[in-house]
Amino acid sequence: MINLSQYFTKIKGELYKNISLAPLTWFKVGGPAEYLFIPKNKEDLIAFLKQYPAEQPKTIIGAGSWGSALAIALSDKFDQIFLITKNKSAIDSLANQHWALSVPFGKNISLTDNFNVIDKSSAVLIATPSSSFNSVLDSILPYLNMKPIAWATKGLDPHTGGLLHETFSQKLPNYHPCIISGPTFAAEIAEKKPAAIVVASMDEGTRELWANIIQTKTLRAYTNPDIVGVQVGGSVKNILAIAAGIANGLGFGANTQAALITRGLAEMTRLGVALGAEKITFQGLSGMGDLILTCSDDLSRNRRFGKELANNINAEKALKNINATVEGFSALKLVIDSANQLKIEMPICEQVMLVTQGIKTPIDAVNELLLRKTNQE
């Protein structure tokens, strides 16, 4: 067990060891806490969180390419990373390396399908597809014990149609929601190529803590209080990447891609602002940055999915060909339903949905966009 008191020499608040929590709770119950810190102010709390020792293991839930890449990136910084898979067969199939990554797992990355490793961890990061987000929260709740938790999942909750922070707050009302997002391909993160990422939370201490955890020598973290905008950017950009893939698959050029990215950004911004986001967020890493990345490179599975559709392959077969989660496809109907409820125009996203439903061919969808009534930019 780590003696935390040796790490916190510069704090101004009070740090207690083996103190009863009963006098501090509403019902006057509670056993002894290993440590209890009472900060003097917000700045003192942030300083305390930043000094939290690296020796404490971290847990990442989700051993897909993204979760595996984050585990590899953070394994140089922390002594131990627990990487939770969905079952034992997934551990066997992964062995020492995720098939989509060129970098093997380090010796300090432990694969497991048991959530009880969270008991040994100081922080928990969810990196599962959005379809699993709801059930993962239910599964980990008994183990959290107020440990810091964040997610690196992009998309909407298919069970509610809402943003993930809404689901999070409903299930974990005593925790501060925090999302990690931005223009990052898993393969390049695992290879430790320089990149930047955004940590968004309405709580300053939470986002500072996670920025400190996630930042490495090659991954720079920026913070943003606009958790709504960061989520909208991370969800809508995947749909627009499908559109970019369709355009590329049809043989269109750089002019088309520039138009799609620019007008797609306008759609993303309109929806985000209507949901309560700040317009400026979409000019940053989680908006424009992530959109440019996802629309421009075939490392994006959403873009590859769009290229499959351009060859008049139906959505079901295209998904099988990609053989990985396509978050843009999962988010499509949810985004369009939200836009319709808010009376927001999202013509590019609408045409993508019609193509995936087989209602329109890719070329008909392009013509529909080009023949729309002229609008002011």
| SS3 at position 125 | strand
Q: How far apart are the first and last CA of the chain?
A: 60
In whole angstroms, what is the distance from residue 157 CA to residue 354 CA?
21
Rounded-to-10 torsion of CA 222, 119, 167, 224: -10
CB 291 within 8 A of CB 240: yes
Tokens in use for 81? 């990373």
Question: Tokens 């040796």 label which residue?
Answer: 6
Residue 26: CB atoms within 10 Å: 6
Catalytic residue among 86, 237, 333, 360: 237
| Residues 253-266 as b or e (16 or more Cβ within 10 Å = b) | eeebbeebbebbbe
* 111 contacts 59 by C-beta, under 8 angstroms: no
Return the closest-CA partner of residue 120 out of 144, 87, 98: 144
Please report, for residues 308, 352, 367, the alpha-carbon distance to residue 363 in angstroms, rounded to integers and kept in the order given. 13, 11, 6
Strand 32-38 relative to strand 14-20: parallel, antiparallel, unpaired? Answer: antiparallel
CB count in 10 Å sphere of residue 95:
11
d(CA 319, CA 327): 11
- Compute the distance between CA of residue 281 and CA of residue 274 in angstroms, rounded to an integer: 13
Is 86 in the active site? no
Structure tokens at 16: 């207690």
Catalytic residues: 237
